[in-house]
Amino acid sequence: MSATSDPDPDGDTAAPVSDRVLTIPNIISLVRLLAVPVVGVLIVRGHLVAAFVVLVCAGLSDWLDGVVARRFDQTSRLGRFLDPSADRLFIFVTIVGLAYQDIIPWWLVAAILAREAAVGACLPYMLRRGYAGFPVHVAGKAGTFALMYAFPLLLLAHIDGAVGTIAWVIGWAAALWGVFLYWAAGVLYLNQFRQVVGRFRVERASGEGAS
């Protein structure tokens, strides 16, 4: 097993990651990815309680694979791709399904997708400069966590009675807070992208001056 350290946009050396593929966290992330279309079908067909259960299990698995990766030194390059990819796909499929069912407004979908588009547009440039991507920021992780638990609660909000009412209040509070944190992290990532661009321009200017 080999381990390397990816460069950090801030100029620091990131934690070493391995090139292993078959690890417990990667298997957990893969299972979570396979559950993404299941959630989409359940929501579209109106099986909201079943979709709620799957989303809760997905959220727990997201926490579990991180714990296992850190506890047993199984952080891998593939895992750094699979884990956030599964989170983003879950969020995308869930919000589109919820909007389709008129549970959330389409402007909320647009707000989340706009952030993804803004950050995603920077990644090809980062990859060409040797960066594997943006290091996970606590604001981004917190925003994802809030959204991952907001949408199951909004599904549960359609149960009549006190449970549905409480789920609606907490779910919307978590959704709005999650979108705010999601965008806050997005601004930080865009600032890191600006630093990478500035560093590359300085290095290129220095190289041209030396020649």
Tokens of 46: 């109106």
Where helices occur in 101-161 by DSSP H, the ranges are 106-120, 123-128, 138-156
How far is the C-alpha of 13 from the C-alpha of 30, rounded, in Å? 28
How far is the C-alpha of 36 from the C-alpha of 31, rounded, in Å? 9
CA distances from 187 to 21, 36, 141, 193, 194 (A): 32, 27, 14, 10, 10
Radius of gyration of the chain (CA): 19
DSSP state of 76: B
Domains, the chain: 16-200 (1.20.120.1760)
Backbone angles phi, psi at 192, to 5 degrees: -65, -40
**Residue-by-residue pLDDT tens, the chain, 211 positions:** 445 555 555 544 455 566 676 778 778 888 888 889 999 999 999 898 888 888 888 888 878 877 877 787 777 776 677 777 788 888 889 899 999 999 899 999 999 999 989 988 888 888 787 776 677 778 888 888 888 889 888 988 888 889 889 999 999 999 999 999 989 999 998 998 888 888 888 777 776 665 5
